[in-house]
Amino acid sequence: MLMRWEPFRELVSLREAMNRLFEESFVRPWGALSRWAEGPAVDMYETDNAVVVKATLPGVKPEDVEISVTGDTLTLRGEIKREENIRDEHYVRRERYYGSFCRSFLLPTKVVADDAEAVFENGVLTLTLPKAEEVKPKTIKIKAKK
């Protein structure tokens, strides 16, 4: 598949990178901590038969995560609970995020939520959502006339 080169596409991504750099450095200096307040980091990709979502959820128990699909929107909701009871004045450094999170994503195609599979391993949630039959790629064979 050939793609047309668009020089402005790189400029937009450079501009976005600079905006992110300045925002994280000056507007939100807590960087990673404030990103977690928005929700967990997620990768989403498509295969021929499914949409796969991988969410990094360190310190979260599988029973503390709720996954829902409504129409074309996937929602991950959960909570990171504190494990120990340490009084605030005893902390020397405190960077880990605790509390609830909720993130929603538009799915790139129709899926069959009833057949979804969720696996939680080593702090990574892998959600596999099978594509609906009507959106799966189909091969059309060509018949030659004699």
The domain spans of the chain are: 8-38, 40-135
Compute CA distances 67 → 1, 60, 71, 112, 117, whole Å: 35, 14, 13, 14, 11
CATH code: domain 40-135 is 2.60.40.790
pLDDT tens digits, residue range 102-141? 899 999 999 999 999 999 999 999 999 999 888 777 788 8
Long-range CB contacts (within 8 A, 24+) of 79-86: 83/59
Query: pTM above the 0.85 mark?
Result: no
pLDDT tens digits, residue range 3-56? 676 666 655 667 777 777 777 666 555 444 444 556 788 999 999 899 999 999
78: tokens are 């959960």
